[in-house]
Each structure stands twice: as structure tokens, then as C-alpha cells.
Chains A and B, each alone.
Chain A
Amino acid sequence: MKAKVYVTLKPSVLDPQGSAISHVLESMGYANVKDVRQGKYFEIALDENLNGTVREDLERIAREVLANPVIEDARVEIEGDTTQGEGR
């Protein structure tokens, strides 16, 4: 059982690394690329016997540790969970 957490910079925060990647792609001739935003991806292995607070726990982990809510958004996905909610 696995959860995936995606952490991305808020749209209002400048991403100089993403811009640098975008410029390289442009110089390589990839004309279709308009912009790049760099983010982080986490895979979290979960106990097979999930208890009811798993989504709550993961949302909190994402908010308090994996992402800095001042500058980043986070999205939590739990494998096989059909009630996918939006994290932050």
C-alpha cells in the first residue's frame, strides 16, 4: 500500500530552477515547451492495515513537513483510494 505526495511551488512563487530548465529546452529546439515548474514527488509506504486516520495523517504530513504552505501546495494520492481528496 502506497501513498504519493506531489509538492509544487505556488503559482505566485518564482521558480528560477524551472525557468532555467525551460530555457535549456528552448535552446534545444523544443518549441512546444512554454514553461517548466519544478516540484517534488514522494512515495510513502503504508501499513497494509490502514486505520481511519490515514488520509488525515498524510494531509498533515504533507502540510507540516513535506511542503511549506507559505510557498508550496501539496496533493496527496492514496493507491486504491477512490475517494481522492485534494490536499494542499
Chain B
Amino acid sequence: MKFGVVIFPGSNCDHDAYHVISKHVGQPVDFVWHRDTDLTSFDAIVIPGGFSYGDYLRAGALASHSPVMRSVKDFAARGGFVLGICNGFQILCEAGLLPGALVRNENLHFVCEHVHVLVETTETPFTANLTAQQILHLPIAHAEGNYVCDEATFTELTRDDRIIFRYCDESGNTNPSANPNGSHNSIAGICNRTRNVLGLMPHPERACEDLLGSSDGSPIFRSLTSTLAAQAAR
């Protein structure tokens, strides 16, 4: 199974993702330039964090119209796995691959800290190796992580078990004081209808080694790997 990590001008977590996939998870991985359009050799695509196109216009807005994103849409429509982290989540929302939008943090601060994140469901290829209601300790670093959507979308997300991660305190309570950015319903990550596209604001790729303060991000990449392995074996 092969991973692709997309690079936009301004991406800055591309090498972290590449490092984790190649060295930590031990899978083949290649970078994909934003002008590239051929994704046929990949089983999973990571849209990494950073400040694509300098966050000009809106975070993720210009990247969502880049040539590679047209291919990512086709790739996702064919069932390929797409993981958007931080700016990658913003890009997936702007591209319409995920519903809703990420707006300026309620308190206007750029938040850069480790937070607790509740795993709401294991029914995705990205969380299959986790346990429901498990608490992860993951870093966040963003100014636009405040998830908003209309009530109809929220109802659908809830009904279809598509809210994958929510901010919580160390005991797993998703109270407003544990919400770092004002995100609706403390949403930290969601998936699409077909569950093969996931976006989240926390950075699992920065939390795969104890040396970095947490290795809780590792099972997310390992879930993806074992799901792909199971698919290949069928």
C-alpha cells in the first residue's frame, strides 16, 4: 500500500507526515506536488497541515482549486482514503469533500498546545484500531479551527456517526471549557458520507513518538494501514 503526501506552496507538516509514514509506520510514501494530477499509484492521500498559499482569501480556499485537488476528488469518489490534517481539514471543507467550514477561533488566538480528544467512533478506516470513547493527547496549532455548519448538516453528522473526534478534558468530558477554539459541539474531526475522507484539526503526525510528548497519533496511521492490508487480502 502506498501513501501520497500532497505539498502545496506553504505546506509545513508535509515532512512530518512523510517521516511518520515511512519511518514509523514503515509504509512506502511519496510526495505529490500540487500541480500533479496522477494519483493512480496511491492507496491513501494525506493533505498535510501548514499555510497553503499563505492562507490568502480563506484558509484552504486557494489550495482547494489547485490541480491536485481535482484528482483528490476523483480519488475520494473511487473510495480512496483521504486524511486531511489541520490546513488539510480546511482544504477538504473548502473543496466540498467534507461539509461545513473552519472559521477564526472564537477567542481570536492562534492556539498551540496539547489537547485531549475523544474518539467518538471506531467505524472509520482511520480509527479502526482505537477504542470508542478513548482519550487521545494530541497537539493542535491553528487560528481557524472553529468548525461551523448549519443545523441540517449537524443533524446529519450526528445521525450518521460522522463526528469522529471531539475536544474533551483529561477525563473525557466534552464541556465548553475543554473546547480550545469555539468549535460547534466541540468538533475536532469529521468524515464524509462514505467514511473514506477524514479531516481533523489536531496533528496526529506530530504525536507518533514518545520523545515528542505523545504517541497517541500513531494508531490513526496504523488503523489506515491495517484497513488497507485487510482490503488487499480480500
Say if the beta carbon of A24 comes within 8 Å of chain B: no
B57 touches A14 (CB 8 A): no
Min distance, Cβ A43 to any Cβ of chain B, angstroms: 14
B94 touches A68 (CB 8 A): yes
CA distance A71 to B148 in the complex (A): 8
B65 touches A65 (CB 8 A): yes
A16 touches B94 (CB 8 A): no
Contact-residue bracket for chain B = 10 to 19
A70 touches B108 (CB 8 A): no
Min distance, Cβ A74 to any Cβ of chain B, angstroms: 12
Contact residues in B for A12 (Cβ distance below 8 Å)? 150
A13 touches B148 (CB 8 A): yes
Contact-residue bracket for chain A = 10 to 19
CA distance A61 to B167 in the complex (A): 35
A-B contact pairs, 22 of them (CB 8 A): A12-B150, A13-B148, A14-B103, A14-B106, A14-B148, A16-B104, A16-B105, A16-B107, A16-B182, A17-B104, A65-B61, A66-B57, A68-B58, A68-B61, A68-B94, A68-B101, A70-B93, A70-B99, A70-B149, A70-B150, A71-B103, A71-B148
Query: Which residues of A are interface residues toward B (Cβ below 8 A)?
Result: 12-14, 16-17, 20, 65-66, 68, 70-71
Query: Which residues of B are interface residues toward A (Cβ below 8 A)?
Result: 57-58, 61, 65, 93-94, 99-101, 103-108, 148-150, 182
